Structure 1
Amino acid sequence: MTLKTNLIKARSHIIFLVALGCGLALVTAIDRSADTNKQGEQVGTQMAQFEDITPLPLAITGASGPDDLEYAQIAWRYFENNTDPTTGLVNSTDNYPSTTMWETGSYFVAVMSANRLGVIDEDEAIARIDLALDTLYTMRLFDGVLPNKAYNVRTGELVNYANQPVERGLGWSALDIARMVAALGHVNANYPALASKTARVLERWDLSQMIEDGQLIGGNIADGAVRRDQEGRVGYEQYAAKAMMLFGFDTYRAYDAESHLMVRDVEGQPIPVDTRLHRNITPAFTVSEPYLFDGLEFGFDARSARFATSIYAAQEARYRNTGILTAVSESHIDVAPYFVYSSVWGGGAEWAVMTFSGDRMDSRRTVTTKVAFAWDALFGTDYTRELITEIAPLGDPARGWPEGIYEADGTTNSSITVNTNALVLAALAFRVHGPLIRAHQ
Structure 2
Amino acid sequence: MSFRDNLINARSHIVFLVALGCGLGLVLQLEKNMPADPPMPERTSAQPVPAEFSAPGLSPAPIAAFEAIEPLPLAITGSSRPEDLAHARIAWTYFENNTHPETGLVNSADQYPSTTMWETGSYIVAVISADLLGLIDSDEAEERLGRVMDTLASIRLFDDILPNKAYNVQTGDLVDYSNKPVERGLGWSALDIARAVGTLSHAEQSYPSLAGKVAAVMDHWDLDQMVEDGQLIGGNMAEEGLRRDQEGRVGYGQYAAKAMMLRGFDMVRAYRAEDHLMVKEVEGQPIPVDDRLHRNVTPAFTVSEPYVFDGLEFGFDARSHRFATTIYKAQEARWRETGQLTAVSESHLDEAPYFVYSTIWGGGAPWAVMTFQGERLDSKRTVTVKTAFAWDALFGTDYTQELVSALAPLGDTDRGWPEGIYEADGSTNGSVTANTNAVVLASLAFRVHGPIARADQ
Say which SS state the counterpart of residue 67 (structure 1) adopts.
Answer: helix
Name which of 382, 386, 393 aligns with 2:402: 386
Matched to 1:172, the amino acid is: W
* Residues in 2 aligned to 1:403 and 1:287: alpha-carbon distance in whole angstroms: 15
Runs of 5+ unmatched residues, structure 2 = 35-48
CA contact (8 A) 2:61 2:274 kept: no
* Residue pair 1:75, 1:401 contacting (<8 A) in 2 also: yes
The equivalent position to 1:395 in structure 2, one of 389, 411, 429, is 411
Asked if 2 retains the 8 angstrom alpha-carbon contact of 1:126 and 1:191, the reply is yes
1:367 aligns with 2:383: yes
Residue 91 of structure 1 contacts residue 97 of structure 1 at CA under 8 Å; is this kept in 2? Answer: yes
Deviation at 1:45, TM superposition (A): 3.5
Q: What residue in structure 1 maps to residue 343 of structure 2?
A: 327
Deviation digits for residues 143-167 of structure 1, max 9, x if unmatched? 0010000000000010000100111
The alpha-carbon distance between structure 1 residues 324 and 141, as it changes in their structure 2 partners (threshold 3 A), is: same
Are 1:12 and 1:196, in contact at CA under 8 Å, matched by a contact in 2? Answer: no
Q: Name the residue aligned to 1:39.
A: 53
- The residue that corresponds to 1:346 in the other structure is 362
Would you say the 8 A contact 1:12–1:199 is kept in 2? no
Aligned ranges 1:136-155 → 2 under 5 Å: 136-155=152-171
| Superposition map of 1:267-306 within 5 A | 267-306=283-322
The CA distance in 2 between the partners of 1:29 and 1:432, in whole Å, is 34
| Aligned-pair CA distance for 1:66 | 2.3
What is the distance in 2 between the residues matched to 1:208 and 1:95?
A: 34
Q: Which residue of 2 aligns with 1:208?
A: 224
**CA deviation digits over 1:390-416, x for unaligned, max 9?**
110000000000000000100000000
The residue matched to 1:110 in structure 2 has which SS? helix
Provide TM-score, normalisation by structure 2: 0.92
Q: What is the CA-CA distance between 1:18 and the residue it aligns to?
A: 3.8
Give the structure 2 partner of residue 314 of structure 1. 330
In the alignment, the residues of structure 2 paired with residue 95 and residue 88 of structure 1 have an alpha-carbon distance, to the nearest angstrom, of 15
Amino acid at match of 1:39: F
Q: List aligned pairs for 1:132-171, cutoff 5 A.
A: 132-171=148-187
Query: SS in structure 2 opposite 1:102?
Result: helix
**What is the CA–CA distance in structure 2 between the aligned matches of 1:15 and 1:363, rounded to whole Å?**
48
Matched, 1:231 2:247: yes
Counting only pairs closer than 5 Å after superposition, residues 82-93 of structure 1 correspond to structure 2 as 82-93=98-109
What residue is the counterpart of 1:420 in the other structure?
A: 436
Provide the rounded CA distance (Å) in 1 between the counterparts of 2:29 and 2:317: 11
Supply the distance in 2 between the matched residues of 1:351 and 1:153 (Cα, whole angstroms): 35
1:377 to 379, 390, 393: 393
2:90 match? 74
- Which blocks of at least 5 consecutive residues in structure 1 are unaligned? none
* Farther off after superposition, 10-19 or 385-394: 10-19
- Partner of 1:203, secondary structure, is helix
Q: Tell me: CA distance 1:75–1:56, structure 2 relative to 1, closer, same or farther (3 Å).
A: same
For 1:157 and 1:353, locate their aligned partners in 2 and report how far apart those are by CA, in whole Å.
Answer: 33
> Which one-letter code corresponds to 1:144 in the other structure?
D
Quote how far apart the aligned CAs of 1:225 are: 1.6
Q: Does 1:430 align with 2:443?
A: no
The correspondence of residues 86-125 of structure 1 with structure 2, limited to 5 A, is 86-125=102-141
Q: Distance in 1 between matches of 2:32 and 2:421?
A: 41
Which secondary structure state, in structure 2, belongs to the residue aligned with residue 229 of structure 1? Answer: strand
Question: Once the 2 structures are TM-superposed, how far is the Cα of residue 440 of structure 1 from its aligned partner?
Answer: 1.9
- The answer (yes or no) to whether the contact 1:26–1:245 under 8 Å persists in 2 is no
Does the CA-based 8 Å contact 1:27-1:242 persist in structure 2?
no
* Moved beyond 4 Å, runs of 4+: 1-17, 27-38, 40-44
Query: Do the aligned partners of 2:287 and 2:327 also contact (CA within 8 Å) in 1?
Result: yes
Deviates more, 1:24-33 or 1:213-222: 24-33
Q: CA deviation at 1:23?
A: 2.4
Q: Partners of 2:4 and 2:405 in 1: how far apart?
A: 57
Q: How many residue pairs were aligned?
A: 441
- What aligned pairs does 1:167-182 form with structure 2 within 5 A after superposition? 167-182=183-198
Structure 2 letter corresponding to 1:271 = I
1:366–1:404 Cα contact (<8 Å) kept: yes
Distance in 1 (CA, whole Å) between partners of 2:255 and 2:453 is 13
* Aligned residue runs from structure 1 range 254-265, under 5 A: 254-265=270-281
Q: Distance in 1 between matches of 2:409 and 2:2?
A: 59
Shift of 1:359: 0.7
Partner-residue secondary structure (3-state), 1:273: strand
Distance 2:455 2:206 in 1: 5
Q: What secondary structure, in the 3-state scheme, does the structure 1 residue paired with 2:143 have?
A: helix
1:13–1:195 CA contact under 8 A, matched in 2:
no
Instruction: State the match for 2:23 in structure 1.
Output: 23
CA contact (8 A) 1:31 1:301 kept: no
Hey, what's the Cα distance between the residues in 2 that align with 1:33 and 1:269? Answer: 33
Task: Measure the CA separation in 2 of the matches of 1:191 and 1:74.
Answer: 25
2:72 corresponds, among 27, 43, 56, to 56
- Given the two structures, how large is their TM-score scaled by the length of structure 1? 0.95
Matched residue SS, 1:220: strand
Using the aligned pairs only, state the percent identity.
71
Q: What is the CA distance between 1:44 and its match in structure 2?
A: 6.7
1:397 and 1:258, CA in 2 relative to 1: closer, same or farther beyond 3 A? Answer: same
Residue 355 of structure 1, aligned match among 345, 368, 371: 371
Structure 1 match to 2:40: none
Q: C-alpha distance in 1, partners of 2:62/2:231?
A: 21
User: Contact 1:315–1:344 at 8 Å: present in 2 too?
Assistant: yes
